[in-house]
């Protein structure tokens, strides 16, 4: 059963990754190219010698970007499938599709959206290369903390729902999650390294494209995996009328 769900999740992740790749090609590449152009201009002004890239931009923006998105989508799809297997039947009245969609939404919010508010994506030349290690480590810490707190919030909501109902329990757990993440975000250091001369529209477009790409990936994943998981649940029950809501 779990193996079948894992395969379905990875298949849905592959479809979602390819959809995100198309989005990145259309909306992300222009901002990335503008960032690279700014970086080249800085290097030229400083008299630095430009080394020829081992892999051309055409390959990076085409095959490389596509493979990266596909692999990332497969991995995320597998993780969502495993999380769904654990959560199924434990989230109140939600059926298979509803559970699959909720797991995907929680994954997007906790692993992508909330961490991006604190540590947004940046194009080339918008940050200091000397701090990349610190920035990466803190971002990873924030992601792990956010995901773990989201899981804890779901557990708390499930237990509280037995006494207060799902609506009140969900509001209380969500509020607790947000408060803790706000405190953690205030305690962790921020990095304001963008050069004053860096074009603000390029920075904005790049960050919106990065967020949009993740939204496409998780949204398509929720839709496709929800359909696959719901179809399996419907086949198992043998009667749509007996299935749970969602």
Domain edges within the chain:
2-125+201-242, 127-193
Give the predicted TM-score (pTM) of the model.
0.84
| pLDDT at res. 242 | 40
Mean pLDDT of 176-181: 97
Q: In the structure, what pLDDT confidence band is assigned to residue 30 with cuts at 50, 70 and 90?
A: confident
Q: Which residues contact 158 (CB under 8 A, 6 or more apart)?
A: 90, 91, 92, 169
| pLDDT at res. 241 | 40
Cα dist. 148→84, 141, 142 in Å?
16, 11, 10
Mean pLDDT of 58-62: 67
Which letter does DSSP use for residue 245 in this model? B
């Amino acid at each position: 059963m779990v193996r079948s769900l894992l395969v379905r999740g990875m298949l849905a992740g592959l479809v979602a990754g390819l959809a995100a790749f198309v989005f990145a090609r259309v909306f992300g590449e222009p901002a990335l190219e503008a960032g690279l152009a700014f970086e080249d201009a800085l290097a030229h002004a400083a008299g630095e010698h430009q080394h020829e890239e081992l892999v051309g931009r055409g390959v990076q923006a085409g095959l490389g970007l596509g493979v990266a998105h596909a692999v990332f989508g497969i991995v995320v799809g597998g993780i969502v499938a495993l999380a769904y297997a654990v959560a199924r039947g434990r989230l109140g009245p939600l059926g298979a599709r509803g559970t699959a969609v909720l797991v995907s939404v929680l994954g997007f919010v906790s692993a992508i959206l909330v961490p991006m508010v604190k540590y947004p994506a940046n194009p080339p030349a918008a940050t200091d290369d000397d701090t990349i290690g610190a920035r990466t480590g803190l971002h990873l810490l924030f992601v792990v903390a956010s995901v773990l707190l989201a899981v804890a919030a779901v557990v708390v909501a499930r237990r509280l729902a037995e006494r207060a109902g799902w609506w009140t329990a969900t509001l209380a757990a969500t509020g607790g999650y947000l408060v803790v993440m706000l405190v953690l975000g205030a305690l962790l250091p921020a990095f304001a390294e963008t050069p004053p001369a860096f074009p603000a529209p390029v920075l904005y477009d790049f960050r919106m494209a990065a967020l949009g790409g993740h939204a496409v990936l998780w949204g398509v994943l929720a839709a496709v995996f929800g359909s696959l998981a719901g179809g399996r649940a419907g086949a198992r029950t043998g009667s749509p009328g007996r299935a749970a809501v969602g």
